[in-house]
Amino acid sequence: MQTGRGNWNSRLGFILAAAGSAIGLGNIWRFPYTAGENGGGAFVLLYLIFVFAIGVPVLLAELAMGRASERSAVGAFKKLVPGGLWPAVGGLGVLTGFGILSFYSVIAGWTLRYLYLAIMGTFKGDVTAATSGPIFTNMAGDGSMAILLMGIFLLLTILVVRGGISGGIERAAKILMPVFFLVLIAMVIRSVTLPGASQGIEFLFHFDFSKLTAAAVASALGQALFSLSIGMGAMITYGSYLPKDINLPVSGFIVALCDTAIALIGGLIIFPALFAAGADPAAGPGLVFVVMPTIFGAMGGFGYLFGIAFYALLAIAALTSTISLLEVIVTYFVDERQWSREKATWTMGILCFLMGIPSALSQGAFTWLSSTPERAFPGGDFLSLANIVFGNYFLSIGAIFICIFVGWKWGIKAAVEEMSRNGKLPVAAMWSFMVRYVCPVAVVAVLIYAIWTNSYL
Ligand code: PFF
């Protein structure tokens, strides 16, 4: 312990916790449905390019800021370059944390309901898209149920975040992430051997550039940032608990690799099964919830157990992400406003609950928040709008400013030094070039393009 704020206990603990933040509903829920809406292969290729060309450099920049300052998303800017308006970028990150957590916990709540349904044997036997579709719509359209589920999920998040860094978060992540990986692999094997599965693999990996739209470019960037948990200071916050003797670039790169692998695995589970079941890839946020049960049905006797394991672990993967979202907010109030962890966690958790209510009611419960054929809600419905505004726009804006700050204000030299504490950073020159020029310019260009073509909404 160097600061009295707590630290990760080991490199593995940090990697699993950071990977736990990165891996979540973004990989299993958001990635497949966004890929489905944007035509598949071309989107996937762009997403991969953005992850490695923009995501990894920004991820390392955030971790370096965090470890060098040992402060929250806001405090890091203050400490590294005192004076000026830069801490506002951290403030934007805290705000983004509220925004993402508010809709994310609604989806996370759904996973709890599906866990219950799996335990009750709902997905036994011959489940088709036609039978699983109404199960989803009924659940999502039930407003009080959605609010209750979201509340339960936020309560779980609060209980872990209260426990602090290594006590709660690290211990949970260490055990559960590897188990999740094994269950997913088993599901890929089942999905790709379903009759008609090859169409799904083709959809995911056939890079047909004629299908590439402005919306696909913009969404691929948003997805890359969202999936890696970057652009809002979550990795600044996690980096601030990182001991100095851990190799930062290697750890960061491993986190990015794990996250990307799980997104592709998510796609490899969903799309073969989706085509085998004859469902529509562009079905939107309900996609995963409609398609997954058809796989358990096709798994025979094992399907029952796999269904339970899958939803339990998906809920846990979501929990390690909601923990990091709340942690960004809580660390800010603890570090900068001198609140106790207990007070910050409860107050901010309850605030997120209130902010999540419109999203919870937007899947059919309240017509004017939902997507209806007569009236187009921007983005589809309130939840999708929040997802686009916070998950795409705000993260992109945050990423631009983080690059400019690290590349031009705090300084490349200091950042490279922080990253090279445990061995030289072999690609320092390339990283610097990416952070100073390529990343900010590319993100600005994609943002302008997205706004110009009105492609997010
Ligand atoms: N990366 C998480 C996921 O893919 O589910 C979501 C997320 C967590 C985004 C934390 C941003 C963040 F700061």
CATH number of the domain residue 350 falls in: 1.10.4160.10
Nearest to 387 by CA among 456, 318, 286, 316: 456
Residue 48 confidence (pLDDT): 97
Choose the residue to mutate in 229, 316, 396 for probing ligand 1, maximizing ligand atoms within 8 Å of C-beta. 229
Residue 238 CB–ligand 1 contact under 6 Å: no
How far apart are the C-alpha atoms of 71 and 13, rounded to whole Å?
Answer: 19
Query: Residue 232 CA: which ligand 1 atom is closest?
Result: 13
Please check whether residue 1 lies inside any domain of the structure. Answer: no
Neighbours of 221 (CB within 10 A): 28
Expressed in angstroms and rounded, the spacing between residue 98 Cα and the centre of ligand 1 is: 12
Residue 73 CB–ligand 1 contact under 6 Å: no
Expressed in angstroms and rounded, the spacing between residue 228 Cα and the centre of ligand 1 is: 6
Residue 1 confidence (pLDDT): 35
How far apart are the C-alpha atoms of 120 and 167, rounded to whole Å?
Answer: 33
Residue 4 confidence (pLDDT): 57
Please check whether residue 6 lies inside any domain of the structure. Answer: no
How far apart are the C-alpha atoms of 24 and 392, rounded to whole Å?
Answer: 16
Residue 166 confidence (pLDDT): 58
Please check whether residue 449 lies inside any domain of the structure. Answer: yes
Residue nearest ligand 1's atom 9 by CA: 229
How far apart are the C-alpha atoms of 225 and 51, rounded to whole Å?
Answer: 7
How far apart are the C-alpha atoms of 434 and 442, rounded to whole Å?
Answer: 10
Cβ(228)–Cβ(60) below 8 Å = no
Cα Rg for the chain, rounded, in angstroms? 21
Residue 185 confidence (pLDDT): 93
The structure tokens 């991820």 sit at: 59
- Domain housing 108: 11-453
DSSP state at residue 194: S
Nearest to 147 by CA among 387, 356, 384, 367: 356
Residue 209 confidence (pLDDT): 80
pLDDT 10s per residue in the chain (457 long)? 344 566 767 777 788 888 989 999 999 999 999 999 998 999 999 999 999 999 999 999 999 999 999 999 999 999 999 999 999 999 999 999 999 999 999 999 999 999 999 999 998 888 888 889 999 999 999 999 999 999 999 999 999 888 876 566 667 667 777 888 898 998 899 899 999 899 999 999 998 888 788 888 989 999 999 999 999 999 999 999 888 888 999 999 999 999 999 999 999 999 999 998 888 898 888 899 999 898 888 878 788 998 998 999 899 899 989 999 999 999 999 999 999 999 999 999 999 999 999 999 999 999 889 988 777 788 889 999 999 999 999 999 999 999 999 999 999 999 999 999 987 888 999 999 999 999 999 999 999 998 888 765 5
Cβ(410)–Cβ(65) below 8 Å = yes
Residue nearest ligand 1's atom 4 by CA: 26
Residue 230 CB–ligand 1 contact under 6 Å: no
pTM of the predicted model as reported, rounded to 2 decimal places: 0.94
Strand partners, 380: 377
Query: Residue 328 CA: which ligand 1 atom is closest?
Result: 13
Q: How far is CA 99 from CA 146, 225, 396, 403, in A?
A: 17, 15, 14, 22
Residue 395 confidence (pLDDT): 97
Q: How many domains does the chain have?
A: 1
How far apart are the C-alpha atoms of 105 and 107, rounded to whole Å?
Answer: 5
Residue 21 CB–ligand 1 contact under 6 Å: yes
Which residues contact residue 253 at a Cβ distance below 8 angstroms, ignoring those fewer than 6 apart?
A: 56, 60
Q: How far is CA 147 from CA 119, 150, 316, 344, 352, in A?
A: 21, 5, 19, 22, 12
Dmax (CA) of the chain: 63
Please check whether residue 416 lies inside any domain of the structure. Answer: yes
Please check whether residue 428 lies inside any domain of the structure. Answer: yes
Please check whether residue 403 lies inside any domain of the structure. Answer: yes
Residue 234 CB–ligand 1 contact under 6 Å: yes
Nearest to 296 by CA among 445, 139, 119, 177: 119
Please check whether residue 328 lies inside any domain of the structure. Answer: yes
Strand partners, 377: 380
Angle at CA 256, nearest 5°, toward 61 and 271?
140
Please check whether residue 95 lies inside any domain of the structure. Answer: yes
Residue 324 CB–ligand 1 contact under 6 Å: yes
Angle at CA 235, nearest 5°, toward 45 and 344?
135
Residue 453 confidence (pLDDT): 83
Residue 282 confidence (pLDDT): 87
